[in-house]
Amino acid sequence: MKRADRAAVWFVLPSLFLVALFSIYPICASVRLGFYRTILMLPWLGEKFVGLENYADLATDAVALQSLGVTLLFVGASATMEVLVGAGMALLLNESFRGRGLVRAAVLVPWAIPTVVSSQMWRYIFNYRYGLFNFLVFGRDTSRYIAPLAEPWLARAAIIFADVWKTSSFAALIVLAGLQTIPDELYEAAEVDGAGAWQKLRRITLPLLKPALLLALLFRTIDAFKVFDLVFVMTQGGPADATNVLQFYGYKKIFAEGMIGYGSAIAVGVFLISLALALLYIRLIGARVLEPGAAR
Amino acid sequence: MKTFLLPLAVAAVGIYSLLPFLWFVLASWKSPAQLTAIPPVIVPEFHWGFYRSAIVNYGLLGYIENSAIVAAATTVVSIAIGALAAYALTRFHAAWLRWYLLVLLCVSMFPQIAVAGPVWRILDALGWLNRYPGIIVAYISFSLPLAIWILSTFFKELPYEIEEAALVDGCTRAQALRRIVLPLAAPGIFTAAILVFIYAWNEFFFALIILTSPPLQTLPVGIALFPGEYTIPWGELAAASAIATLPLIALTLLFQRRIVRGLSAGAVKG
Amino acid sequence: MASLTVQNISKSFGQAGVIKNLSFEVRDGEFCVLLGPSGCGKTTLLRIIAGLEEASGGTIVIGDRRVDTLAPRDRDLAFVFQTYALYPHLTVAENLAFTLEVRGAARAEIRRRVDETAKTLGLDGLLARKPRELSGGQRQRVAVGRAIIRHPKLFLFDEPLSNLDAALRGEMRGELARLHKRLGATILYVTHDQAEAMTLADKIIVLDRGAIQQTGAPAEIYHAPANLFVAGFVGSPRMNFAEGAVNGAGLFIGEDCRFDVSEMLPDNVKRGDTPLTIGIRPEDLTIAADGPAAIEGRVEIVEDLGSDKFVHVASAGRGWVARMAPEAPLKPGGAVRLRAADGKLHIFHSGRRIGR
């Protein structure tokens, strides 16, 4: 090792230590715990090795299977819609008009609001007696008012919508960055060639934007898997586990029921899915990091 | 057509982004009667009763204090440690440094549940559950990938030659760092600090499992677990939410450009 | 000022050696240019001398002091970067003063030297500006000023003019030459631009693939290139080359050309079947009005530069370039017969120059 590289170790060591202790070791420990039966708060009762039993239970656990389905639905629907809405916002923000800075800031506001706050906000709007939602749908006829968060499909739609509202601006930023890499000359050339606004969008913008759209989709997919706050505040996984996403289910198993072994099996499942997505992401973009000289 | 559609689209995006939260904030200024009125009252009375109640009856100031301490400490330490790592990552060539960057990238994508149980046990063993150091050290660890990524993209843009010029001009490494690198990197450091602060201010999952004792809880936990026996005290909840969100909206409006750059640096340039 | 002696410097990245056991000397007050194509190791060599990169082995002596184990700041040299590397957060005056300041010079002395340097380089009115408010040429001047303000023993320039447009480059070239004369400075200057090398240098070191190809005065490099690389690299348009062999009568016969080399060939080269390469510069090809022609072909393109004409001649499937007076009566498509000016042939055997 060269002298300079040895110096690098000291620079990196503090962060490496913390990341190893609080991210890398815990993941390994979770994988290990998935093969044991043990109680979180009562470690002195010991750990019993049960092999793949937790995973076998998981495969026949109706709630877990439903939870997987709900999670996939949530991730697929919210990520797709976020990219669509975000792309629309990005196309708008890429235009030049007076007050663009203000609109850009406005779009960022949902992103800046703590998820817990926006979840309470939606809960307020979806309130079954005096929520704005009911008023907008049914007017003054309070007899027809419903409790959206108590209806399985409406509750699912509500958490998806709440997520889209909060994070589509993030997708918009990624798409906007992609838009800004398209040189103006291309549009000028297309205009000279006689293309109209719609043709320019279809023949130039969208094809060249594909990588950015894919990236935004993947990024949102990875992040959507982490959904927890929304469900915790808006529905507590209900009604009847209709919105019980995997992270929430795992949380309940480990921290409400103390079943850290079984909960870890769920955690490992979620981890494997997101690892696959992370590797996909790295293939798409991170590979550049490994090229020599990329760091300089 | 464009002149007609553009203002329409701008208005739609503006309403979509701002109206829901504005509605919630308006609730904090309503009177109890206005809160449940049908049809809904749009213009509130602007009475501050719910804010007073949130502070007096629900201990809002305590939550704010906890959040401020935790977020500030996390930001300072995470940026300091992150800047060291980012400096090495952009100034030294070794191959393992690039692998480290990839590991950080991966780690930042894993859902919290994948580490939650063991993290709880580590903090339990240290006696740091329900204590500031526990939540702060966890937040530092989890915000480091973000901080390092953003700082590296900014450091990468500082030409190394400027540091070399300083070395030839007569600086030691430490002098070059202090007199040249830090002043030039200040905008990037500031941007990363804003994003880490927002992360720590908003984080809920780990706050929920680590801080179970109400006097220590942060704002997100307080707001998520807002007590209400039969009905939810929406007025107080809206007031607390408005206060919890105010600093973030202020940061966003003030530093919009930086935040946009920082976010797209973290996500796109990668 | 002082001399620079570089001995047995090597540097390798992984397997490939970038610089292979280089030795050379720059005399006190000499303007020495390191000339070579990009990737030949010239910038790496400069950075090793400055102490910005570590060599795998070798010694560097400035004056009578060995410096290769010292930090850059202790080597008493100045480095002008290709990108100028001005401190963007400091004004011009602060940029100039920086090196004196970190070395603890007295405030009055710093003021005096900054004023003096600014006057020398015509930066008087710009002292309060930040680098981003300067034009390319002004930045270049500040970079030079930052180097000369300290009166170091040695100046290192890394392609300092490559970011300027053509007109400014010519102007700055003249200014650098004047500055060198006035300061009597020892300069090691890296460039890939042969015009810079030819006009500025007392001595040129031609570098390729980490090895010295030739060292000499500009005229020597141009008129007596030591090998095929130097011959091909220096001169524009490029030297014409032809491969072939010399027969018993001392006549070089190539694919589409023949030259009488009997009087130029050294005695130790065997006549008959010795493979040789002939080089001839475009300006040394002339029209063979009558008498024997070395090359017969057809004019393909005529590039008229006003002062000269570059005539591209095709013969037997390959091309020759001749540089002619503007009034030369040549039209594309016409037949042409060329011969070499007397004594202007360069002869190479296995890549190295032989003869005369």
Taken in order of first residue, the domains within chain B and their CATH numbers are 1-47 (no CATH), 59-263 (1.10.3720.10)
Tell whether C148 lies on the interface with B, counting CB pairs under 8 A: no
Interface with B, mutate which of C102, C114, C146, C154 (most B CBs under 10 A): C102
Higher-pLDDT residue of A204 and C26 is C26
Under an 8 A CB cutoff, do B167 and C72 touch? yes
Work out the average pLDDT over C234-242. Answer: 90
Q: Which residue of B has its CA nearest to C146?
A: B169
Band (pLDDT 50/70/90 cuts) for residue B270 is: very low
Return the pLDDT at A292. 42
What residues does each domain of chain C span?
Answer: 4-227, 240-354
Q: Which residue of C has its CA nearest to B161?
A: C85
Q: Work out the number of other CB atoms within 10 angstroms of the CB of residue C307.
A: 7
**Two structure tokens written together for C234:** 């220096």
Under an 8 A CB cutoff, do C73 and B179 touch? no
Higher-pLDDT residue of C127 and C257 is C127
Return the pLDDT at B92. 82
Percent of residues, chain C, with pLDDT higher than 90: 47
Q: What predicted TM-score, i.e. pTM, was given to this entire model?
A: 0.82
Return the pLDDT at B166. 93
Under an 8 A CB cutoff, do B164 and C88 touch? no
- What sign has the CA pseudo-torsion C143, C145, C150, C156? positive
**Which of A23, A123, A285 is closest, CB to CB, to B141?**
A23
**Amino acid code (one letter) for A161:** F
**Which of B105, B140, B264 is closest, CB to CB, to A282?**
B105
Are the beta carbons of A119 and B220 closer than 8 angstroms? no
Distance (Å, whole) CA A101 – CA A93: 9
Return the pLDDT at B267. 56
Return the pLDDT at C14. 65
Distance (Å, whole) CA C325 – CA C313: 15
Higher-pLDDT residue of A73 and A279 is A73
> Who contacts B31 (Cβ-Cβ below 8 Å, separation ≥6)?
B44, B45, B47, B49
Min CA distance, B93 vs chain C (Å)? 11
Pick the range with the lowest mean pLDDT from A166-175, B173-182, C216-225.
B173-182
Return the pLDDT at B37. 80
**Two structure tokens written together for C222:** 């141009």
Of C325, C330, C340, give the one whose Cα is nearest residue C301.
C330
Neighbours of chain C (3+ CB pairs under 8 A): B
Under an 8 A CB cutoff, do B115 and A222 touch? no
Min CA distance, B156 vs chain A (Å)? 6
Tell whether B124 lies on the interface with C, counting CB pairs under 8 A: no
Q: What is the pLDDT of residues A227-237, one digit of tens each?
A: 999 999 999 98
**Which of B37, B98, B253 is closest, CB to CB, to A289?**
B98
Tell whether B168 lies on the interface with C, counting CB pairs under 8 A: yes
Please give the CATH topology (third level) of the domain spanning C4-227: Rossmann fold (3.40.50)
Work out the average pLDDT over A168-180. Answer: 89
Interface with B, mutate which of A117, A180, A225 (most B CBs under 10 A): A117
Under an 8 A CB cutoff, do C87 and B165 touch? yes
Q: What is the pLDDT of residues C87-122, one digit of tens each?
A: 999 999 999 999 999 988 899 999 999 999 999 888
* pLDDT of A294 higher than 50: no
Min CA distance, B204 vs chain A (Å)? 7
Among 1.10.3720.10, 1.10.150.110, 2.10.69.10, 3.40.50.300, name the CATH number for the domain at A34-290. 1.10.3720.10
Under an 8 A CB cutoff, do A106 and B17 touch? yes
Are the beta carbons of C226 and C353 closer than 8 angstroms? yes
Under an 8 A CB cutoff, do A246 and B113 touch? yes
Q: What is the pLDDT of residues C144-194, one digit of tens each?
A: 999 999 889 999 999 999 888 888 888 889 889 998 998 888 999 999 998
| H-assigned helices in chain A | 3-19, 25-33, 53-60, 62-94, 100-112, 115-125, 132-138, 152-179, 184-192, 197-200, 206-224, 229-234, 246-251, 260-281, 287-290
Distance (Å, whole) CA C227 – CA B3: 69
> Who contacts C45 (Cβ-Cβ below 8 Å, separation ≥6)?
C6, C9, C11, C19, C22, C34, C190, C207
Measured in residues, chain A has a length of 296
Band (pLDDT 50/70/90 cuts) for residue B269 is: very low
Mean pLDDT value across chain C? 89
Return the pLDDT at B190. 92
**Which of A11, A250, A270 is closest, CB to CB, to B85?**
A11
> H or E stretch including B8?
helix B2-28
Under an 8 A CB cutoff, do C87 and B167 touch? no
Tell whether B184 lies on the interface with C, counting CB pairs under 8 A: yes
Tell whether C347 lies on the interface with B, counting CB pairs under 8 A: no
Measured at the CA of A32, the angle between CA A31 and CA A33, to 5 degrees, comes to 95
**Which of C51, C89, C103 is closest, CB to CB, to B170?**
C103
Min CA distance, B253 vs chain A (Å)? 6
* pLDDT of C138 higher than 70: yes
- Chain B residues touching residue C50 (CB < 8 angstroms): 164, 168
Tell whether B158 lies on the interface with C, counting CB pairs under 8 A: no
> Residue B33: what are its φ and ψ, rounded to 5°?
-70, -40
Band (pLDDT 50/70/90 cuts) for residue B266 is: low
Work out the average pLDDT over B117-135. Answer: 93
Tell whether A29 lies on the interface with B, counting CB pairs under 8 A: yes
Task: Spell out a b/e string for C265-302, using b for 16 or more CB atoms within 10 Å of the CB, else e.
Answer: beeeeebeebebbbbbbbebbbebeeeebbbebebbeb
Min CA distance, B113 vs chain A (Å)? 6
Under an 8 A CB cutoff, do C88 and B165 touch? no
Return the pLDDT at C203. 95
Could you please report the per-residue DSSP string of C102-153? HTT--HHHHHHHHHHHHHHHT-GGGTT--GGGS-HHHHHHHHHHHHHTT--S
Q: Work out the number of other CB atoms within 10 angstroms of the CB of residue A285.
A: 19
| H-assigned helices in A235-259 | 246-251
Under an 8 A CB cutoff, do C72 and B184 touch? no
A179: left (phi over 0), alpha (psi -120 to 50) or beta: alpha
What residues does each domain of chain A span?
Answer: 1-29, 34-290
Measured in residues, chain C has a length of 356
Work out the average pLDDT over A67-82. Answer: 94
Q: Give ipTM to 2 decimals.
A: 0.89
Q: What is the pLDDT of residues C35-88, one digit of tens each?
A: 998 888 889 999 999 998 888 889 999 998 999 889 898 999 999 999 889 999
Neighbours of chain B (3+ CB pairs under 8 A): A, C
Return the pLDDT at A1. 45
Under an 8 A CB cutoff, do C79 and B179 touch? no
* pLDDT of A250 higher than 60: yes
Q: What is the pLDDT of residues B39-72, one digit of tens each?
A: 888 888 888 888 888 888 888 899 999 999 999 9
Pick the range with the lowest mean pLDDT from A26-30, A51-55, A121-125.
A51-55
Taking one residue from A and the other from B, the number of pairs with CB-CB distance under 8 angstroms is 321
Tell whether B20 lies on the interface with A, counting CB pairs under 8 A: yes
Q: What is the CATH number of domain C240-354?
A: 2.40.50.140
Tell whether C316 lies on the interface with B, counting CB pairs under 8 A: no
- What sign has the CA pseudo-torsion C77, C79, C80, C85? negative
- DSSP E strands, C186-291: 187-191, 203-208, 211-216, 240-246, 251-254, 258-260, 274-280, 285-287
Under an 8 A CB cutoff, do A40 and B9 touch? no
Percent of residues, chain C, with pLDDT higher than 70: 98
Under an 8 A CB cutoff, do A22 and B106 touch? no
**Which of B159, B170, B180 is closest, CB to CB, to C83?**
B159
- Chain B residues touching residue C88 (CB < 8 angstroms): 162, 184
Min CA distance, C153 vs chain B (Å)? 13
Band (pLDDT 50/70/90 cuts) for residue C311 is: very high
Return the pLDDT at A289. 53
Tell whether C73 lies on the interface with B, counting CB pairs under 8 A: yes
- Chain B residues touching residue C97 (CB < 8 angstroms): none
Return the pLDDT at A155. 94
Tell whether B187 lies on the interface with C, counting CB pairs under 8 A: no
- Chain B residues touching residue C52 (CB < 8 angstroms): 164, 167-168
Under an 8 A CB cutoff, do B159 and C103 touch? no
Tell whether B185 lies on the interface with A, counting CB pairs under 8 A: no
